[in-house]
Amino acid sequence: AQSVTQLGSHVSVSEGALVLLRCNYSSSVPPYLFWYVQYPNQGLQLLLKYTSAATLVKGINGFEAEFKKSETSFHLTKPSAHMSDAAEYFCAVKERGGADGLTFGKGTHLIIQP
Amino acid sequence: ETGVTQSPTHLIKTRGQQVTLRCSSQSGHNTVSWYQQALGQGPQFIFQYYREEENGRGNFPPRFSGLQFPNYSSELNVNALELDDSALYLCASSLAAQEYEQYFGPGTRLTVT
């Protein structure tokens, strides 16, 4: 069974500071990994995904994440936070070839301080 | 290209009633998945449909059922509603050959009183 752990239900950073959102996963086989963002009262928007190519994945809005197999981690970073980045962020894992859908973490609420 | 759409946007039902939620997949997508997102939680996988058949299911009771139509649109039906069914219900579509590309709709907010 797969699982995702997001460390920190709330993360607060100053505008212009580095954003680091942590995600660790558990999977019996190399999975697909994802980061989604959710703004209030909206659905999920895909930020980036890891599918087995480069371990450093670049996404939209300046976000990137690095797949580290040895640490079973897929942390999300952005060099400089913007006020518009304030949202809920979800890390998710999916078994390759399976029909079990995505398994999501509980989410991290990102707060940007002016 | 039309994205994933869901209807209705909001819905209020009484405990014990039945509800049907609808989803239109992104153009060309043949697989649809449904998720339940309780307040303050991450989405939880309910089930997935491919070629009009359920081919994957999460830990949800049988009173959660679905349909996928030939045009790849989908319905989620919930019978005997319980208070804990209050949540945002999200639909996601994808191509079976590109299972890692799931596009989500805006969701339907269901409130059970």
Residue-wise pLDDT for A8-35, tens only, equals 999 999 999 999 999 999 987 778 999 9
Task: Judge: A107–B42 Cβ closer than 8 Å, yes or no.
Answer: yes
Nearest CA in chain A to B106: A43
CA distance, residue A66 to nearest chain B CA (Å): 17
| Of residues B33, B42, B106, nearest to A43 (C-beta) | B106
β pairing state of B87-95 and B31-37: antiparallel
In whole angstroms, give the CA distance from residue A37 to residue A42: 10
Task: Judge: A32–B102 Cβ closer than 8 Å, yes or no.
Answer: no
Rg of the Cα atoms in chain A:
14
In whole angstroms, give the CA distance from residue A44 to residue B22: 17
Instruction: Please give the full DSSP string across A8-21, using - where no structure is assigned.
Output: -SEEEEETTSPEEE
Nearest CA in chain A to B57: A100
Task: Judge: B103–A46 Cβ closer than 8 Å, yes or no.
Answer: yes
Which among A102, A103, A106, A109 is the top mutation candidate for probing chain B, defined by the most B β-carbons within 10 Å of its own β-carbon? A102
pLDDT average, residue stretch B7-16: 97
For residue A97, the chain B residues in CB contact (below 8 A) are 99
Q: Is the pLDDT of residue B1 over 70?
A: no
The two most distant CA atoms of chain B are separated, in Å, by 41
Task: Judge: B45–A107 Cβ closer than 8 Å, yes or no.
Answer: no
Q: What is the pLDDT of residues B66-112, one digit of tens each?
A: 999 988 899 999 999 999 999 999 999 988 777 778 899 999 999 99
Task: Judge: A32–B56 Cβ closer than 8 Å, yes or no.
Answer: no
- Using CB atoms within 10 A of its CB, is residue A77 exposed (0-12), middle (13-18) or buried (19+)? middle
In whole angstroms, give the CA distance from residue A107 to residue A7: 9
